[in-house]
Amino acid sequence: MQMIPLHLAAEGMVLAREVCRNDSSSTVPVCGKNVVITGELIRRFDLMGIRSLYVKGRPIVQEGEPTLEAILKDLDCRFDKVRNDSLTMKVHEIYTAFLKRSMGDDCGR
Partner 1 sequence: MEDRQNDIKNVIMDTKNLPTLPGVIIRLNALSEDEKSTIHEMANIVTSDQVLSARILRLANSPSYGFNRVSTISNAMILLGVNVVKSLALSSTFLEIMEKNSLGLWEHSLGVAAAANLIARKLALPECEEISTAALLHDIGRIVIGLKCSKESEQIIQLAKEKQIYLSEAEMQVLGTDHAEIGGWLAKSWFLPEKLSDPISFHHDVTLSTNHRIKVSVVQMADVLVKASGFGDSGDIYVPRIQQEAWDALGMTELLLSEIIEELEEKLVDVKNFSIEMQA
Give the residue with the Cβ less far from partner 1, 47 or 77. Answer: 77
Binding test (CB under 8 A) with partner 1, winner from 10, 14, 16, 20: 16
Binding test (CB under 8 A) with partner 1, winner from 25, 63, 69, 87: 87
Euclidean distance between CA atoms 78 and 19, whole angstroms: 35
Q: How many residues bind partner 1 (CB under 8 A)?
A: 24
Q: 2 and 24 in contact (C-beta within 8 Å)? A: no
Binding test (CB under 8 A) with partner 1, winner from 32, 46, 94, 109: 94
DSSP state of 4: E
Euclidean distance between CA atoms 68 and 89, whole angstroms: 19
Shortest CA distance to 37 belongs to which of 77, 8, 78?
8
Give the residue with the Cβ less far from partner 1, 63 or 81. Answer: 81
Euclidean distance between CA atoms 99 and 10, whole angstroms: 22
CB count within 10 Å of CB 97 equals: 11
Decide if residue 70 touches partner 1 (CB under 8 A). no
Smallest separation (angstroms) from partner 1 to the CB of 45: 19
* Site of interaction with partner 1 (CB under 8 A): 1, 3, 16, 27, 54, 74-75, 77-82, 85, 87-88, 90-92, 94-95, 97-98, 102
